[in-house]
Amino acid sequence: MNSNGDAGDGTGGTVEWAVVGSDIGPLLLAATGAGLVSVVFHACPAVRDRAVGQLRARLGAEPVETPGSARLTEPIRQLAEYFAGSLREFSLLLDWSLTSGFNRQVLRELAAGVPYGAVVGYGDLARRVGQPGAAQAVGTAMGSNPLPVVVPCHRVVESDGGLGGFGGGLETKRQLLALEGVLPQPLF
């Protein structure tokens, strides 16, 4: 199963979260009984507190910090392998309950149809979901992606070769694309 697989749409009762280190800085990972529900970049204390509050409000459950959570073991392992360069496709159960409608459709297509080391334009992705005039809406969907890295919004670029935007910052997008061999690694 690839990262498009899911166990349903719902919180599964509780939300467990932990902050883990990565090559792009600390990431907050949150999971429900249905699967990984959120990945948050730059998880310093202020970002972490805001993200936990948003999870509480949007999922209607009290997030619990559980660094040793069995729900997070596999996402943590697979992300470590991804950053080590030995994992090219995530095989995690995903809880899609933080996204819906067009945004969910676009994110699922991205997860299923844009492999490691490839990029796609905003307009191309809009065409893939049957909405050829919706490039700007695709950009909005990328900006609201609750599962960045795992659902690889960093692989969506401008048709003229520009990087486009990125919720984790353009330097983070450059690092992820360099890791996947799309851009050259920095010299220093």
The total of other beta-carbon atoms located within 10 Å of residue 154's CB is 26
Catalytic residue among 59, 111, 153, 156: 153
pLDDT at position 165 is 84
Residues of the chain with pLDDT under 70: 1-12, 186-188
d(CA 3, CA 7): 11
Q: Which residues contact 107 (CB under 8 A, 6 or more apart)?
A: 96, 99, 141, 145, 147, 151, 153
- Concerning whether 153 is annotated as a catalytic residue, the answer is yes
Q: Are 7 and 93 in contact (CB under 8 A)?
A: yes
Query: How much is the pTM?
Result: 0.90
Q: Are 83 and 102 in contact (CB under 8 A)?
A: no
pLDDT at position 8 is 44
pLDDT at position 2 is 43
pLDDT tens for each residue of 56-99: 999 999 999 998 899 999 999 999 999 999 999 999 999 999 99
User: Alpha carbon of 145 to those of 14, 37, 44, 70: distances in Å?
Assistant: 21, 10, 19, 24
d(CA 158, CA 142): 12
